[in-house]
């Protein structure tokens, strides 16, 4: 569906089902340079199991208009405004990568809006090396190729997909290339500049879950475990052999873990 947020047309995938704001809302927040499509194998799954799914495209991503936002704090405020537009009082939030940083900030700045928080392949901070930032600014195609390479684990590199006939890495590249030019650089800059993770985590009061990818080259497990500690999550889920793009690479395990967490929350 499309709604107006800050005067810009914003696309939100609802997993193929009509959205009902009075239901139990799952809000999926995508990562740097990604879109709702990185949750392709979560949206329909949860929408068909009774949850109300919201997977927005951040401005300049996917099918959303507007200029890319430039700080994690502003992204969190934007998400809160989006929930207001939709009359959603509070939601269970799933943040992947940069979406996890937004989730932390959302839970700190708008704590009433977050019922539960599942942090997927993310950390308290996502430093970005200068080489990648430079590529994202000046040679986006190369940045996309590098991120798709680092982002995928064994299954992605073997081109072995759970959806028959589909290709992880080539799909990942096209998904990123479909965003507005400059959106990736804005995202990576926002990640690089974000320093509020530890404070935000300390302020989070809702139930939390942490799902990590064992072979994650972008947000390595050891940083994910630090975040788990800060969020007082004693049983982080570590998916063996998975890379950073685990929502698409390992949908069965990810969905199982999310379901277990949100069925009780």
Min CB(118)–other proteins separation in Å: 18
First-to-last alpha carbon distance for the chain, in angstroms, is 26
Contact by Cβ (8 Å): 10, 56? yes
* Cβ distance to other proteins smaller for residue 153 or 197: 153
Min CB(143)–other proteins separation in Å: 9
* Cβ distance to other proteins smaller for residue 13 or 73: 13
Residue ranges that bind other proteins, judged by CB under 8 A: 11, 13, 16-17, 35, 37, 40-41, 43-45, 48, 62-63, 142, 145-146, 148-150, 154-155, 157-167, 169-171, 174-175, 177-178, 251-252, 255
Give the whole-angstrom CA distance, residue 17 versus residue 104: 27
Min CB(163)–other proteins separation in Å: 4
Based on the number of CB atoms within 10 Å of its own CB, is 124 exposed (0-12), middle (13-18) or buried (19 or more)? buried
Min CB(17)–other proteins separation in Å: 7
123 closest CA partner among 56, 184, 59, 191 = 191
* Cβ distance to other proteins smaller for residue 255 or 265: 255
For the four alpha carbons of 176, 182, 183 and 188, in that order, the dihedral sign comes to positive
Min CB(62)–other proteins separation in Å: 7
Based on the number of CB atoms within 10 Å of its own CB, is 85 exposed (0-12), middle (13-18) or buried (19 or more)? middle
* Cβ distance to other proteins smaller for residue 174 or 205: 174
* Cβ distance to other proteins smaller for residue 157 or 232: 157
């Amino acid at each position: 569906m499309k709604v107006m947020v800050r005067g810009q047309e914003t696309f939100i995938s609802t997993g193929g089902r009509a959205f009902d704001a009075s239901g139990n809302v799952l809000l999926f927040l995508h990562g740097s340079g990604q879109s709702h499509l990185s949750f392709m194998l979560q949206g329909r799954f949860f929408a068909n199991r009774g949850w109300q799914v919201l997977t927005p495209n951040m401005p300049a991503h996917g099918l959303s208009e507007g200029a890319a936002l430039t700080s994690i704090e502003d992204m969190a405020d934007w998400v809160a405004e989006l929930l207001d537009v939709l009359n959603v009082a509070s939601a269970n939030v799933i943040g992947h990568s940069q979406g996890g940083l937004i989730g932390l900030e959302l839970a700190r700045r708008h704590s009433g809006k977050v019922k539960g928080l599942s942090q997927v392949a993310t950390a308290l901070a996502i430093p970005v090396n200068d080489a990648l930032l430079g590529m994202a600014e000046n040679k986006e195609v190369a940045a996309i190729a590098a991120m798709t390479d680092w982002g995928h684990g064994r299954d992605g590199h073997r081109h072995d997909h759970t959806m028959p006939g589909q290709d992880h890495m080539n799909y990942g590249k096209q998904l990123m290339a479909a965003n507005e030019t400059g959106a990736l650089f804005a995202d990576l800059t926002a990640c690089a500049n974000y320093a509020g993770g530890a404070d935000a985590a300390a302020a989070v009061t809702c139930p939390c879950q942490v799902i990590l990818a064992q072979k994650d080259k972008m947000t390595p497990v050891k940083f994910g475990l630090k975040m788990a500690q800060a969020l007082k999550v004693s049983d982080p889920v570590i998916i063996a052999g998975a890379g950073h793009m685990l929502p698409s690479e390992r949908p069965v395990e990810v969905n199982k873990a999310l379901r277990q967490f949100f069925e009780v929350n």
